Chains A and B, each alone.
Chain A
Amino acid sequence: MLHTVNKSPYQSDALTTCFGLAQPGSAVLLFEDGIYAAMNNTKFSGAVVVAQQCCTIYVLEPDLQARGFDSDCIMNAIQTIDYDGFVSLVEANPVVQAW
């Protein structure tokens, strides 16, 4: 399953709830204001590390750039993808849950 999170983790519990329910092997895409969860040295970094043990986490690069960040700012093992990559994730996952 592909989980998409577009809300800031500081303003919404979408990310935390998603991480709590996502099953091993899931993909989690952070986009729009969801990208702030991907940054180094935040209070969510620990939760992201734990989630990475069972899920693959992606972040949408155009949304990083819009907010003044680049791939150097984000945690190791989070993969940056573009819109084509987003489409590929949707193709690869028959079910998408938009948080």
Chain B
Amino acid sequence: MYVNRRAPHGTIYGHEGLEVVLVGAAFDQEVSMAFVGDGVFQLKQAQDTSGIGTKNFAGAYRALADYDVTRLYVETESLEERGLTVGDLMPLTYEDEEDNDQEKSSITLIDRASLGQLFEAQDVILNF
């Protein structure tokens, strides 16, 4: 599991973390992502970096489903503390092959206590 804790664009962590996720997934690792703290800002919809002259890597989140990365856990408390709801996030979806290719959301809201337990179930955690 890859844990994102930082906002996009101000530092390189978010971009680097996403690159590592894509590399790991390309090597058939079983990958999930958690978004905690300022990490939830990574998924904010309508990011447009044309005014600051940097690469807008937010669009690459839409490619995750193609790499079978379909479990993105977003901590509810982090959203609320930042005045956000799930409706403010990018609508990331995947087609579930085990369920007639139904389109489903890749984003799962999870409360802090449950996320802590989910961490305990991981083999490896990388924190960005």
Q: Which residues of A approach B to under 8 Å, CB–CB? A: 6-8, 10-11, 32-33, 36, 39-43, 45, 61-63, 65-70
Contact = CB atoms under 8 A, between A and B. Distances in A.
B41 A66 contact: no
A85 to B, nearest CB: 13
Interface in B56-103: 56, 58, 81-83, 88
Main secondary structure of the interface of B (DSSP, over half): loop
A32 B83 contact: no
Contact of B10 (A32, A61, A69): A32
Contacts of A10: 37-38, 81-82
B82 A66 contact: no
B83 A66 contact: no
Interface residues of B, number: 25
A66 B52 contact: yes
Contacts of A6: 10
Contacts of B44: 67-69
Contacts of A43: 81
Interface of B: 6-11, 37-38, 41, 44-52, 54, 56, 58, 81-83, 88
26 contacts: A8-B6, A8-B10, A8-B38, A11-B37, A32-B9, A33-B9, A33-B11, A36-B82, A39-B82, A39-B83, A40-B83, A42-B81, A42-B83, A61-B51, A62-B52, A65-B48, A65-B49, A66-B48, A66-B51, A66-B54, A66-B56, A67-B9, A68-B44, A68-B47, A68-B58, A70-B46
A67 B81 contact: no
Nearest to B82: A42
A11 B58 CA distance: 21
Contacts of B10: 6-8, 32-33
